């Protein structure tokens, strides 16, 4: 559901790649910022005459950005790549796999769907060479491997894909001018962030703008808060077991994370409009208080997409900026990052498909989209100087310095939980219901699925 809020709802596109090798953005070897050595390595693989089918969720501008990257793979190898994008990818890939007509490569916006298909034998596992490369080449590399490791038909765990594009959720947005006028510094720890929250109140201001409204999906922004705070109060292993319900929703550690969210959201002095306005305020409208004069709030926690809902003409880095949603210095849990990402997997094995996976995990494949728009990479060998904007570069740096990366937990849970009782439970909680009772009710829903 969260993904669909940001998707462009257009019809299925089945046309072949509209961007070809003759349309390369940069001539190989000319711009020294790019890792052309990883491009040159592709030339040793001759795929002339081979066609590789790729199916994924990218439409519109994203489709064009991806095809401009793929053009370099075509140029180096001689292969032809046909990319098709659909806003119904999740449904269509299941139909195609079951019919035996899956594409060579599938781009999964959620690893849970890939896990389901892997368990049915519809995805080809990758070898240890690829796995080791991801561990060494990606920030928090083992996290990315873990996220792509699923059980096969025999119940044995295998490695099934390479994450390509990442999305970042662990961000706090603010107005640099408002901070400067009030004399506030960007907090570096959670202790500092809480102290800043209290200082803003003492100075007569309101610290936070928070909105959970999203039509039928109302409540989802609060799930991101809880997930981020769980990663900052407990080891990642607790998060993983919670997502799979090995640790129950009403476990004291999970209840504590919900109450951590409540520290920010259930205090009338801390939230624009008071705690009662949190659930009724639309998430798209909630950051607008940052830009009022005088400001209605100073801080807004939301993912990297939220500038799309800032007032028209807002300039990132000038009118609005962001910082990493910090971790507790006292808890020594490193720099966890919550986000999402697209998993590239083989769903119809071929020599070209395996070469394409090698390309996707190479620095040049990341840099070529980084140089456009809408792409953040965890690849340590990709040059951050090629990012198209300072904001993207800064987000990329946050990702590169992550010690742990975890996928949005609610997106990995069964739909009746992650897109159901978890959402409604958070609305109930912000409305005053006890955290233990909310957590118990969510667990009851999960138990009923068994």
Does one domain contain both 159 and 264? Answer: no
Q: Please state, in angstroms and rounded to a whole number, the distance separating the CA atoms of residues 400 and 403.
A: 8
- Same domain flag for 164 and 19: yes
Q: How confident is the model at residue 9 (pLDDT cuts 50, 70, 90)?
A: very low
234: domain CATH number is 3.40.190.10
For residues 35 and 143, state if they share a domain: yes
State yes or no: pLDDT of 209 exceeds 60.
yes
Strand duo 149-151 + 157-159: pairing: antiparallel
Mean pLDDT of the chain: 94
Domain co-membership, 163 together with 259: no
- Tens digits of per-residue pLDDT, 289-334? 999 999 999 999 999 999 999 999 999 999 999 999 999 999 999 9
**How do residues 70-80 score in pLDDT, each as one tens digit?**
999 999 999 99
Q: Are both 30 and 127 inside the same structural domain? A: yes
97 & 66 share domain: yes
Q: Are 206 and 297 in contact (CB under 8 A)?
A: yes
Same domain for 238 and 118? Answer: no
Which DSSP string corresponds to 25-67?
SS-TTT-TTS-HHHHHGGGGS--TT-EEEEEES--HHHHHHHH
Q: Are residues 415 and 318 in the same domain?
A: yes
Global model pTM greater than 0.85: yes
Query: How sure is the predictor about 4, in pLDDT bands with cuts at 50, 70 and 90?
Result: very low
Average pLDDT over residues 117-127: 98
Report the C-alpha gap between 310 and 308 in whole angstroms.
6
In sequence order, what are the residues at sequence separation of 6 or more whose Cβ sits closer than 8 angstroms to the Cβ of residue 252?
Answer: none
Task: Give residue-wise pLDDT tens across range 380-399.
Answer: 999 999 999 999 999 999 99
Cis peptide before 431 (omega within 30 of 0): no
**435 and 397 within one domain:** no
Residue 402 and residue 384: Cα distance in Å, rounded?
15
Query: How far, CA to CA in Å, does 187 sit from each of 20, 195, 197, 276?
Result: 47, 9, 10, 27
Residue 25 has pLDDT above 80, yes or no: yes
The tens digit of pLDDT for each residue in 124-142 reads: 999 999 999 999 999 999 9
Q: Does residue 16 register a pLDDT over 90?
A: no
Distance CA 208, CA 299 (A): 5
Answer yes or no: is pLDDT of 235 > 90.
Answer: yes
State the residue range of the domain holding 303. 171-336+410-447
Phi-psi region of 317 (alpha: psi -120 to 50; beta: other; left: phi over 0): left
Torsion of CA 262, 263, 266, 267, to 10 degrees: 180
Residue 110's pLDDT band (boundaries 50, 70, 90)? confident
Average pLDDT over residues 234-246: 97
User: Reduced to 3 states, what is the DSSP secondary structure of residue 85?
Assistant: strand
Q: Quote the number of domains for the chain.
A: 2
**Same domain for 14 and 156?**
yes
Distances (CA, A) of 358 to 19, 89, 346: 21, 23, 11
Q: Which of 136, 134, 143, 86 is nearest to 109 (CA)?
A: 86
% the chain with pLDDT above 90: 94
Other beta carbons within 10 Å of 194: 17
pLDDT band at 450 (very low <50, low <70, confident <90, very high): confident
Q: What value does the mean pLDDT take over residues 184-190? A: 98
Q: Secondary structure of 118-140 in the HEC alphabet?
A: HHCCCCECCCHHHHHHHHHHECC
The pLDDT of 183-206, averaged and rounded, is 98
Asked if residue 397 and residue 274 are part of one domain, the reply reads: no
For range 251-255, the mean pLDDT: 98
What's the pLDDT at 23?
76
Check whether residue 302 and residue 430 sit in a common domain: yes
- Give the residue from 391, 407, 423 where a domain finishes: 407
Instruction: Give the C-alpha separation, 305 to 62, whole Å.
Output: 14
């Amino acid at each position: 559901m969260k993904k669909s809020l940001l998707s462009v709802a257009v019809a299925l596109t089945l046309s072949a790649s509209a961007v070809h090798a003759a349309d390369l953005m940069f001539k190989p070897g000319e711009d020294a910022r790019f890792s052309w050595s990883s491009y040159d390595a592709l030339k040793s693989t001759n795929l002339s005459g081979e066609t590789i089918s790729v199916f994924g969720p990218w439409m519109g501008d994203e489709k064009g950005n991806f095809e401009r990257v793929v053009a370099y793979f075509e140029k180096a190898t001689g292969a032809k790549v046909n990319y098709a994008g659909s806003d119904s990818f999740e449904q269509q890939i299941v139909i195609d796999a079951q019919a035996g007509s899956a594409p060579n490569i599938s781009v999964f916006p959620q690893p849970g769907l890939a896990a389901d298909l892997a368990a049915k034998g519809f995805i080809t596992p990758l070898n240890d060479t690829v796995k080791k490369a991801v561990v060494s080449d990606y920030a928090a590399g083992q996290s990315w491997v873990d996220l792509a490791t699923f059980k096969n038909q025999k119940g044995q765990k295998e490695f099934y894909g390479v994450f390509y594009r990442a999305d970042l959720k662990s961000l706090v947005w603010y107005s640099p001018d408002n901070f400067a006028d009030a004399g506030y510094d960007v907090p570096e720890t959670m202790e500092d962030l809480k102290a800043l929250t209290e200082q803003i109140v003492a100075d007569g201001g309101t610290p936070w703008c928070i909105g959970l409204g999203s039509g039928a999906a109302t409540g989802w922004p609060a799930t991101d808060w809880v997930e981020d705070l769980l990663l900052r109060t407990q080891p990642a292993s607790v998060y993983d077991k919670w997502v799979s319900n090995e640790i129950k929703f009403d476990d004291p550690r999970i209840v504590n994370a919900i109450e951590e969210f409540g520290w920010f959201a259930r205090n009338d002095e801390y939230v624009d409009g008071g705690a009662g306005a949190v659930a009724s305020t639309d998430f798209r409208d909630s950051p607008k208080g940052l830009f009022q004069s005088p400001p209605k709030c100073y801080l807004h926690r939301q993912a990297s997409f939220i500038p799309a809902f800032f007032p028209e003409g807002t300039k990132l880095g000038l009118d609005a900026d962001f910082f990493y949603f910090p971790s507790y210095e006292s808890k020594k849990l490193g720099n966890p990052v919550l986000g999402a990402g697209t998993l590239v997997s083989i769903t119809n094995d071929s020599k070209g498909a395996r070469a394409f996976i090698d390309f996707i995990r190479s620095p040049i494949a990341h840099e070529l989209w980084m140089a456009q728009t809408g792409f953040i990479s965890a690849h340590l060998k990709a040059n951050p100087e090629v990012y198209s904007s300072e904001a993207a570069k800064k987000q990329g740096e946050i990702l590169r310095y992550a010690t742990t990366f975890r996928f949005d937990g609610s997106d990995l849970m069964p739909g009746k939980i992650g897109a159901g009782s978890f959402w409604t439970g958070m609305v109930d909680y912000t409305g005053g219901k006890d955290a233990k009772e909310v957590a118990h009710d969510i667990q009851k829903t999960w138990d009923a699925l068994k």
